[in-house]
A and B are shown apart, each in its own frame.
Chain A
C-alpha cells in the first residue's frame, strides 16, 4: 500500500526552533504539564495512521498554536513565521495525498489528536500556545522519523 510521505526542509525548521527554544521555554509557566507528550500514544501511532495524525497536528499548530502565540519580538517572530510557513507548505503537500485517498483517518488517529486538543484547552490560551511551541522539537522529531523514505507526494 503506497504511503503518504511528505518531504520537508527539516534542517531549516530545526534551525528555526533552536533559535527560539530557550526564549520560549523560559516563558513556559506550567513546567509540570505537557501537551504533546501526554499523548504517549504519539509514539505508538501505526504507519497506517501517520498521515492522518500528521495532518491533524499540522492543522493544530497552523490553526491554533501560532495564532494564539501573538509574538512581538521580531527575532522570535521570524523563526515562528519560518516554521508556520513550512507547516503550511507541508499541509499543501498532504492535501495532494488526501486527493489520492492515501490519508484515511481511523478512530485511533482521531483519539490521539483529540487528547492534544483537550490538554491544550485546559490551559490558558497564551500559556498553552507557548507550551506547544516549546514542544515543537517533539513534533519535528516524530514527523522526521515517520516521513523518511521516498516521498509519495
Chain B
C-alpha cells in the first residue's frame, strides 16, 4: 500500500537525579506533521512472571515527547524495562526498548541545598525539600580545635530546624548529606557553611 512505515524512536536513555527519572529519545521527524509517542514499562516482576504484560506509563501514553517523566512508574528498587513507539494518525512505529533495564538505585544523589540562619543565639537550618523519600544527615560543630561533631537526622526538607544554641563570638559550622532508605544510599556532603553569632556567613 506504499505507506511509508514510521521509524521507531532511537537513542532511548534515562537521566535520573535525586530519584527523579526521565526517559528521553531522539524525536521521529516527519515534515509538517506532529508525532505522538507512547511509553510503556515492565518491572522485574512482569518480566519474570507476566512477560506479555507491558504497562502504559502514567503520564506519557500518549505524549508529544521526546521525553517522559517516569518517576511515578518506577516505584520499586528492581530493574525496569522501558519501551517507546511513535504514532502519526493511523501509522504506528515498531517499539524501541531501552537497551539496559533501569534500576532507581543508580540515581545520582546530589548534596542538598541548605539555608543556615541565626535567630538570636539559635542556629537554624532549612533544607531543600526533595520529597518524602529523602532524609537528611546534618553534622554541626563549633569551629575550634578538638571540637566534637554533633549529628541530627532530619526527616523532611522545607521546614526550619533548630540545631543548637551558639556561643557568642564562636564560629559554628554545618554540613549535610541526604539519605534515601528505598535504595539505601546517601549523597556526598554539601559544602561546609559556618556562621558566627555577630558576623555574616564566613567563607571557608
Contact = CB atoms under 8 A, between A and B. Distances in A.
Interface of A: 7, 9, 11-12, 16, 62-63, 66-67, 74, 77-78, 81-82, 84-89
A88 B55 contact: no
B181 A85 contact: no
Contacts of A84: 43, 45-46, 49
Contacts of B132: 11
Describe A's contact surface by its main secondary structure.
helix
28 contacts: A7-B181, A9-B75, A9-B76, A9-B77, A9-B133, A9-B182, A12-B182, A62-B49, A66-B45, A66-B49, A67-B49, A74-B56, A77-B53, A78-B58, A81-B43, A81-B45, A82-B75, A84-B46, A85-B44, A85-B45, A85-B75, A85-B76, A85-B78, A86-B76, A88-B44, A88-B45, A88-B48, A89-B76
A66 B73 CA distance: 18
Interface string B27-42: 0000000000000000
A74 to B, nearest CB: 5
Contacts of A12: 75-76, 182
B49 A81 contact: no
Interface in B118-156: 132-133
Nearest to B50: A67
Contacts, number: 58
Interface of B: 43-46, 48-50, 53, 55-56, 58, 61, 73, 75-78, 132-133, 181-182, 184
Closest 5 A/B residue pairs (Cβ): A85-B76, A85-B43, A82-B75, A84-B45, A86-B76
A66 B44 CA distance: 13
A112 B127 CA distance: 46
B122 to A, nearest CB: 31
A11 B56 CA distance: 23
Given A82-B75, A82-B76, A88-B44, A9 B181 contact: yes
